[in-house]
Structure 1
Amino acid sequence: MKNISRRNFVKNTALTAGAGLAMVNTTEAKASKELFVHHVYFYLKNANNEADTAKLIEGLNALTKVPTIRFVHIGTPASTNRSVIEKGYAVSWLCFFDNLEEEEIYQKHPIHLKFVEEYSHLWDHVIVYDAIGPRREKQK
């Protein structure tokens, strides 16, 4: 074993600890600037069925209890009319997560699994758009 002075030991320990903290702080800073967006469009088996739409919205409201969700929006098609607007879906589910890992926790969460089990009979299919990018504050 190499003989090391107390001064060098303390210096090396401080440098190692500092490097570790810098790595943790960089990771935390990156994670806090990252945003994961999960947008799901539900197309019901019984399109335009108000009872089925209400039932699905009931299930989505229960799904908001998953703790990793930071912000959520449940919506139905707006009355806008332009050629680029898709209006064939019944309900839109939009939620934001701090990062991909938080969204993966949501996917496996018992509340989410229960939602799929109890409400999937209502939809014909879903389309999911996932996106990741930096957090940005709106410019004033």
Structure 2
Amino acid sequence: MKKYICTLLLLAFAITTYAQVENTMKTFDPSFAHTVYFWFKNPDNEADRARFEKSLQQFLDNSKFAKTDFIGKPPKASRDVVDGSFTYSLIVTFESAAAQEGYQKEEPHLLFIEECKDLWEKVIVYDSQGIAQ
């Protein structure tokens, strides 16, 4: 039994270590962050959500400029200062403002907007450049 448990622990360690060194994780680039909030016309429509998520993921998978990305939904707010009124959020990082400008004009981004613009009633974008440390 002890040998079985040791083997399982060793296997789990090997799998997690391999995943970390395999370079499958992207590094957050603090140079330029592009944060987008989407408010849907029909936020409870599962078909709309599925279409949006599929199109957005396809766009991000094919972007030449996006370094890292995060797609989120609002959690249940536990404090009054948390705004959970949006349907989805997107955070994308870039190596520079010029790379973010290229992203705005690239075909996968334009296709995503065309495929999904009828889903949202409001979009707010916050762009930020990192401060020197």
TM-score normalized by the length of structure 1: 0.69
> Between the two proteins, what is the percent identity of the paired residues?
36
Say whether residues 1:69 and 2:66 are aligned partners.
Answer: yes
Distance 1:135 1:73, change over 3 A: farther
Moved more, 45-54 or 65-74: 45-54
**Structure 2: any 5+ residue segments left out of the alignment?**
1-28
Q: 1:89 is paired with a residue of what secondary structure?
A: coil
Q: Which residue matches 2:37?
A: 41
Which ranges in structure 1 are unaligned for 5 or more consecutive residues? 1-32
Q: What RMSD, in angstroms, separates the aligned Cα atoms of the two structures? A: 1.7
Q: Higher Cα Rg: structure 1 or 2?
A: 1
Deviation of the 1:34 alpha carbon: 6.1
Distance 2:75 2:30 in 1: 29
Measured after TM superposition, the shift of residue 79 of structure 1 is: 2.4
- Match among 93, 97, 104 for residue 96 of structure 1: 93
* Runs of 4+ deviating beyond 2 Å: none
Match of 2:112 among 112, 115, 126: 115
| TM-score for both structures, normalised by structure 2 | 0.72
Q: How many residues align?
A: 104
Deviations 1:30-67 (A, max 9, x none): xxx86110010110011222221221111110111201
